[in-house]
């Protein structure tokens, strides 16, 4: 920030207005305007950017889905490119019963023929074989439906690790969820840091995460991503990389 400009603005606002007695009069209206301007500047400085991707989920059939706003793409894992004809709109024809047509928070495949979608304080269970939402949803995220999950009003990202555990991320924290026991493991939440997630460059706010089904998981943040090796428990060398048509053919069309 240009400090000289800041001083000039402040000087203009508090410029002396001399009355006949030589006293300085401060305009309350000008002071109010200065406060509004200062608040706007601070808000811009500390505002968190929106998520580039809002969800990524491996469907378990060689396809993965990526979501952003009211659109999504289907990605073909074997050929490593977006399928023709995408992006498409999220609507009841493409996603029967999905109640959110203008963006989700995250999605995770539970590896039992069901996929969970989260939005705000609610979630739904989607049946892969029937290709529709299960009856009785959406439901609220609470300790009865997701025991031990500390966040009941939005989740940043979720990923099934493929070993009976799933990870949920929110801000600078995460939890490990035991799928067979259907509850959060003891000792969580923990902080996202280099000790817990070696090589992960982002310690606050993961946009999306997906298990690629080949021993690798991908984490996305802004216009970058990393590839995480599940067996060695660390980010692969050479990452992060940029999301582009070279690294993720066809995916940038969703991000426009």
On whether the CB atoms of residues 115 and 82 are closer than 8 A, the answer is: no
Task: Return the H-helix or E-strand segment holding 67.
Answer: strand 63-68
Cis peptide before 240 (omega within 30 of 0): yes
On whether the CB atoms of residues 203 and 191 are closer than 8 A, the answer is: yes
pLDDT of residue 27: 56
pTM for the full predicted model: 0.80
pLDDT of residue 256: 84
On whether the CB atoms of residues 243 and 62 are closer than 8 A, the answer is: no
Give the CA-trace dihedral at 94, 129, 177, 181, to 10 degrees: 150
On whether the CB atoms of residues 209 and 56 are closer than 8 A, the answer is: yes
pLDDT, tens only, 116-143 = 999 999 999 999 999 999 999 999 999 9
pLDDT of residue 36: 43
By three-state DSSP, how is residue 112 classified? coil
Q: Cα–Cα distance between 173 and 97 in angstroms, integer?
A: 31
For the chain, residues with pLDDT lower than 70 are 1-51
On whether the CB atoms of residues 67 and 54 are closer than 8 A, the answer is: yes
User: Which domains occur in the chain, in start order?
Assistant: 3-46 (no CATH), 59-255 (2.110.10.10)
On whether the CB atoms of residues 230 and 217 are closer than 8 A, the answer is: yes
Listing DSSP states for 21-52 in one string gives: T--B---HHHHHHHHHHHHHHHHHHHPPPPPS
Say if residue 235 is exposed, middle or buried (CB neighbours under 10 Å; 0-12, 13-18, 19+): buried
Q: Cα–Cα distance between 203 and 206 in angstroms, integer?
A: 8
pLDDT of residue 30: 55
């Amino acid at each position: 920030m240009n400090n000289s400009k800041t001083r000039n603005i402040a000087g203009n606002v508090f410029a002396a207005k001399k009355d006949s007695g030589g006293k300085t009069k401060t305009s309350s209206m000008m002071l109010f305007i200065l406060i509004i301007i200062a608040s706007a500047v601070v808000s811009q400085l500390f505002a968190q950017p929106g998520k580039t991707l809002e969800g990524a989920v491996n469907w378990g059939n060689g396809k993965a889905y990526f979501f952003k706003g009211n659109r999504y793409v289907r990605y073909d894992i074997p050929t490593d490119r977006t399928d023709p004809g995408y992006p498409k709109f999220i609507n009841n024809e493409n996603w029967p019963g999905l109640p959110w047509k203008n963006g989700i928070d995250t999605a995770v495949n539970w590896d039992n023929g069901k996929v969970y979608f989260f939005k705000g304080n609610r979630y739904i269970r989607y049946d892969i074989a029937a290709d529709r939402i299960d009856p009785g949803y959406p439901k609220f995220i609470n300790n009865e439906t997701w025991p031990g999950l500390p966040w009941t009003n939005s989740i940043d990202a979720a990923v099934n690790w493929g070993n009976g555990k799933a990870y949920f991320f929110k801000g600078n924290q995460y939890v490990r969820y035991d799928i067979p026991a259907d509850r959060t493991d003891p000792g969580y939440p923990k902080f996202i840091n280099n000790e817990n997630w070696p090589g992960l460059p982002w310690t606050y706010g993961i946009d999306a995460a997906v298990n690629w089904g080949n021993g690798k998981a991908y984490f996305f943040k802004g216009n970058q991503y990393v590839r995480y090796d599940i067996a060695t428990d660390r980010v692969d060398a050479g990452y992060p990389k940029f999301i582009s048509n070279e690294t993720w053919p066809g995916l940038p069309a969703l991000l426009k």
